[in-house]
Amino acid sequence: MPAQAHVEPPPVDSTSVFKDDIFKGKVLFCTGGGSGICKAMTEAVMRHGAHAAIVGRKLDRLQASANDLASATGNQCLAVQADVRNPKQLQEAVAKTIEKFGRIDFVICGAAGNFLAPISKLSENGFRTVIEIDTIGTYNTIKATLPHLRASKGSYIHVSATLHYKGTPYQVHVSAAKAAVDATSAVLAVEEGPHGVRSNVIAPGPIAGTEGMDRLSAKGPDAKNFAWATPLGRYGDVKDVANATVFLFSDAARYITGQVIPVDGGCEHLRTEPLPYPQSVLDPDAVAAMIKPRL
């Protein structure tokens, strides 16, 4: 009888590993914190004592998430409307956070955009938009928050991806944007280390139940043939990324900076594609039904 493959059990809550109060008195500023992975990252940090400000473009959705986070953690969460592509709006968001909490200790640069498209069908505007949200948005967030992180000897986490480690079809826009984010974090770590500021990257792999996973997964009856292979036997959970976040912001990681930490169950080493290859690049129209339309 062949051996059965290991299936990694679901992740534990960070509060079962780390002390509840390790971030007491700290403040988190998170772009993209209103949903998905970044909301889970924010919740985990708040569960350990921090207050938070979450930033996004849609205030009603953001306020609902802030209420959820405050109710779940018992700590305060401020919803601040801003577009990361607009430096002035981000500066105003930071000012509101300082007015409310008096400091910023942690920053998560998590605002992002993505969709599937081959280069031949990707518009110049589509490419530019993802670069502006992911790369320029990260830079704008750094610029707006850096004086406060110097003051608090704080720490950045940038949410990236593993797509650019190899050539990933239909992902040129995000691959270019996230490669730039990784490079930006490395320079930030080198320049700001002497000021006491750390900067690291978390690169999630396929995380179940997220908008990103939904957008990048094949659709239709043949979708199961193009699932990502994971050595640990399951897709990731938002808690997996949240737990890495708590570690990297904690004093346990105080000598870790300038690093990229994939949280992907090892799937990058196997790298299966979400669409049939080479058919998807030879005839993009043939796989159109397997791609979620852009909103």
Across the range 29-39, mean pLDDT stands at: 95
pLDDT(202) > 60: yes
- Per-residue confidence band for 295, with pLDDT thresholds at 50, 70 and 90: very low
- CA neighbor of 76 nearest in space, from 38, 28, 32, 109: 28
Across the range 73-91, mean pLDDT stands at: 98
Q: Which two tokens stand for residue 294?
A: 């852009």
Containing 108, the helix (H) or strand (E) segment is strand 106-109
Cα 235 to Cα 115: distance, rounded to the nearest angstrom: 20
Of the residues 26, 39, 178, 239, only one is catalytic, namely 178
Query: pLDDT digits over 180-199, tens only?
Result: 999 999 999 999 999 999 99
Say which residue, 132 or 235, is predicted with more confidence: 132
Residue 140 pLDDT? 98
The answer to whether 178 is a known catalytic residue is yes
* Helix intervals (H) in 234-292: 238-249, 279-282
pLDDT(6) > 90: no
Across the range 57-84, mean pLDDT stands at: 97
Tell me the pTM. 0.93
The answer to whether 160 is a known catalytic residue is yes
Of the residues 14, 65, 160, 185, only one is catalytic, namely 160
17-290, which class in CATH? alpha beta
